[in-house]
Amino acid sequence: MTNEDAGGGDAAIPENKDKKKQIIGGIVTLVTLVLVFGIVFPQFADYGEAWDAVQKMSTIALVLLFVMTVVNIVVYVWPYQASLPGLKYGPGFVVRQTSFLISNVIPAGGAFGIAVQYSMLGSYGYGAAETTAAIGITSTWNTFVTLSLPVFGALGLIAMGQGQSTAYALAGIGLVAIAAIIAVFTLIFKSEESARRLGDFGDRVVGWAYGIFKKEPGFGVSDWVVHFRNSTVDVITGRWIRITATNYFQQLMQFLILWAAVYAIQGGSSAPVSFIEAFVAYAFGRLASFIPVTPGGLGTVDAAISGILVAFGAVSSDALAAVMVWRALTYFPQVFIGIGTLLAWRRKQGKTA
């Protein structure tokens, strides 16, 4: 019996739960993909027409898309480097691409992706505290950036004279929300005392919410806030501009791939969907990634972006074609690269063991 097998029955319980969660996640993912790509898309677009539109793209457009895809892969590492001082590009590239593979391919793979990051960064000399801080910062900033994109989209529509009452309302609510988030982070990093007070307020709110259902919360907001502050304050206070800029730039590159596809497929400057409208489609479509139905929002994000592009005037087959190109270039290259980085890292670890 190996040391791993010697854990007994207690160790088998969480393992069985993980396997059960993976199986359920796999079934949900499969059903969602069948619904989206097999039923939803064929209702408003023809795959044959979409493929014809892709084949008509010019050589210049294809070259531009290739260059953008390479740049997107390159900059994907930058937010991680910004959150983890001293991390060189090579190790960061291996960790990020491998994590992308696991988190975006394996059903319920987020937890597995985090575990792999701990293991990989540990092999590069980073401790648990540094890794936890880096993952926490990267995840928090990615969430903030994704939530802020629709606000910028709404402001863009207003600036272009296309804003309706919904756009004004969204822009106003979004700006207030962003200001509130910035205020919360300012209080957290101002001092440990202010972080503790904010956490205490969070405990009261959570306690009140749980009290409605006559239950007691099994976690403490105050302790979590203070721990998050203490583990990340030095990095965030010294590098928040770099962290913010790299996260926005990463999202911008993904959008530019979509816009290049929309622009080329719809006939260049005569395209019915403008740059701002395509950005709005991307921004709101990205929100679907918060719905944990499929890994990486595969299918759900695609359907959302396609629907919004059609609402802005795109031909349904053109919208589908553009989204197919965008998905192919922002998903599959990193999946294949992730397979390579995982195998290379495992091989290196085997040699050093």
Per-residue model confidence as pLDDT tens digits over 246-302? 999 999 999 999 999 998 887 766 668 889 999 999 998 888 777 766 666 666 788
CA nearest 84: which of 73, 71, 95?
95
Tell me which range, 29-33, 124-128, 236-240, 253-257, is most confidently predicted by mean pLDDT.
253-257
Of 97-101, 209-213, 273-277, least confident by mean pLDDT is: 209-213
User: Taking all residues of the chain, what is their mean pLDDT, rounded to a whole number?
Assistant: 79
Q: Which two tokens stand for residue 145?
A: 């950036």
**Model confidence pLDDT, tens digit, residues 39-48:** 545 544 555 6
Reported as a pLDDT band with limits 50, 70 and 90, residue 189 is: confident
SS3 state at 224: helix
Contact 110, 136 (CB under 8 A): no
Contact 76, 82 (CB under 8 A): no
**Averaged pLDDT, 122-146:** 88
Contact 234, 192 (CB under 8 A): no
Sign of CA dihedral 279, 329, 40, 292: negative
Residue 175, phi then psi, degrees to nearest 5: -65, -40
Residues 184 and 98: their CA atoms lie apart, in Å, by 33
Is the pLDDT at 23 greater than 60, yes or no?
no
Q: Which two tokens stand for residue 80?
A: 């991680």
Q: Is residue 138 classed exposed, middle or buried when 0-12, 13-18 and 19+ CB atoms within 10 A define those classes? A: buried
CA nearest 102: which of 113, 92, 93, 111?
113
Q: Is residue 162 classed exposed, middle or buried when 0-12, 13-18 and 19+ CB atoms within 10 A define those classes? A: middle
**Averaged pLDDT, 309-331:** 87
* Domain coordinates in residue numbering, the chain: 45-352
Residues 50 and 319: their CA atoms lie apart, in Å, by 8
Cα end-to-end span (Å), the chain? 20
CA nearest 201: which of 179, 222, 176, 177?
222
Q: Is residue 48 classed exposed, middle or buried when 0-12, 13-18 and 19+ CB atoms within 10 A define those classes? A: exposed
Is the pLDDT at 111 greater than 50, yes or no?
yes
Tracing tokens 């390159």 back to the chain, one arrives at 74
Q: Is residue 277 classed exposed, middle or buried when 0-12, 13-18 and 19+ CB atoms within 10 A define those classes? A: buried
**Model confidence pLDDT, tens digit, residues 333-350:** 888 898 898 888 888 877
CA nearest 138: which of 93, 102, 184, 96?
96
How many CA within 13 A on the CB side of residue 300? 18
With 0.85 as the threshold, say if the pTM is over it.
Answer: no
Residues 254 and 269: their CA atoms lie apart, in Å, by 20
Contact 228, 136 (CB under 8 A): yes
Q: In this predicted structure, what is the pLDDT of residue 9?
A: 38
Q: In this predicted structure, what is the pLDDT of residue 198?
A: 87
CA nearest 100: which of 254, 218, 221, 270?
254
Contact 329, 64 (CB under 8 A): no
- Report DSSP state, residue 36: I
Is the pLDDT at 141 greater than 70, yes or no?
yes
Locate all alpha helices (DSSP H) within the chain, ordered by sequence: 9-33, 41-44, 47-55, 59-75, 78-83, 89-105, 110-123, 128-159, 165-190, 192-212, 221-265, 275-286, 300-311, 316-352
Q: Between these two residues, 162 and 91, which has the higher pLDDT value?
A: 91
Q: Between these two residues, 290 and 62, which has the higher pLDDT value?
A: 62
